[in-house]
Amino acid sequence: MKRILIVTGTLLFGSLFHGQVSSTENYIQSRTYLEPVTGSSTAAKQIQTVQYFDGLGRPKQVVNVKASPSGKDVVTHIEYDAFGRQTKDYLPVPQSSTGNGAIVPNPLGNASSIYGAEKIYSEKVLENSPLDRIQQQIQVGNDWTNKPVKFDYSANISGEVIKYTTTTIWENNATKSSIEYKGTYGANQLYKNTVTDEDGNKTIEFKNSRGQLLLVRKVLSATENTDTYYVYNEYNQLAWVIPPLLSKKKTWDLADQQALAYEYRYDGRSRLVEKKLPGKGWEHMVYDKADRLVFTQDELMRAQNKWLFSKYDLFGRVIMTGIVGGTSRSDMQNMIANNLIVENRNLQGFTKTGMSIQYTNNHFPYLETVLSVNYYDTYPFYSFNPTFPTSIQGEPVLTDNLSTSEGKSTKSFSVMSLVKNIENDNWTKSYTYYDTKGRVVGNHSINYLGGYTRTESKLDFTGVVQNTITKHKRANTDTEKVITEVFTYDLQNRLLKHTHKVDNNPEEILAQNAYNELSELQTKKVGGVNPTSPVQTIDYKYNIRGWMTKINDPSNLNGKLFGYEIKYNNPVLTTIAPAKYNGNIAEIDWKTFNDGILKRYAYHYDGLNRLLYGHYAEPLSTIPQTDHFGESMEYDLNGNITHLYRNAKNPNGQAMQIDNLSYTYSGNRLTKVTDATQSSYGYPGGGIPMGYDNNGNMTSHPDKGINSISYNFLNLPSEIKVNSGNSNAAITGYIYRADGVKVAKNYILGGTTKETQYLDGFQYDNSIASNVLASSSSLKFVPTSEGYFDFVKNKYIYNYTDHLGNVRLSYFNNGLSLEVLEENNYYPFGLKHQGYNILNGNPSYQYKYNGKELQETGMVAMDWRHYMPDIGRFGVMDPLTGVIPGWTPYRYAFNNPVYFRDPNGLFEKGPEYVSDWIKNTLTGAYKFDPEATGPDNTPQGYEYVGPTGAYTNANGNVVNLLANGEKEIQIQEVTIAGKKNNSGTLDYLNFFNDRAEDASDILASRRWQGGSFRIFRNRDVSLQGFAPLYRADNFGARGLTRSRYYNVSKVLKKGSMIASVTLGALEVGNGLADDYNDYQTKGQTNGKNTAVATGSVAGGIAGGIAGAEAGASVGAVIGVWFGGVGAGPGALIGGIIGGAIGSWGGSELGEAGVEKIYE
What residue ranges of the chain have pLDDT lower than 50? 1-18, 914, 922, 930-931, 933-937, 940, 955-958, 963-964, 968-1159
DSSP assignment string, 86-151: --EEEPPEE-SS--TTPPPSSTTTTHHHHHTTS--EEEEEE-SSTT--EEEEE-SSGGGTT--EEE
Closest by Cα among 170, 182, 196 to 229 = 182
Going from the C-alpha of 508 to that of each of 125, 666, 768, 896, the distances in angstroms are 54, 54, 34, 38
Task: Count the alpha carbons within 13 Å of 845 in the hemisphere toward its beta carbon.
Answer: 31
Closest by Cα among 495, 584, 497, 563 to 534 = 497
Residue 807, pLDDT score: 98
CA–CA distance, 991 with 900 (Å, rounded to integer): 10
Going from the C-alpha of 1057 to that of each of 258, 935, 1088, the distances in angstroms are 42, 11, 20
DSSP assignment string, 272-291: EEEEE-TTS-EEEEEE-TTS
Strand 5-9, strand 26-33: pairing? parallel
Which residues have C-beta within 8 Å of that of residue 371, sequence separation ≥ 6? 321, 322, 323, 419, 420, 422, 738, 1123, 1124, 1126, 1127, 1128
Residue 1037, pLDDT score: 24
Strand partners, 1136: 1118
Greatest alpha-carbon span in the chain:
93
Going from the C-alpha of 84 to that of each of 59, 81, 392, 952, 967, the distances in angstroms are 12, 5, 55, 18, 21
Instruction: List the domain boundaries for the chain.
Output: 1-117, 149-163+175-258
CA–CA distance, 719 with 768 (Å, rounded to integer): 19
Residue 1120, pLDDT score: 27
Residue 933, pLDDT score: 46
Which residues have C-beta within 8 Å of that of residue 34, sequence separation ≥ 6? 44, 45, 46, 47, 460, 461, 462, 464, 491, 493, 939, 940, 941
Residue 767, pLDDT score: 76
Counted residue by residue, the chain has a size of 1159
1127 neighbors 310 (Cβ within 8 angstroms):
yes
169 neighbors 159 (Cβ within 8 angstroms):
no
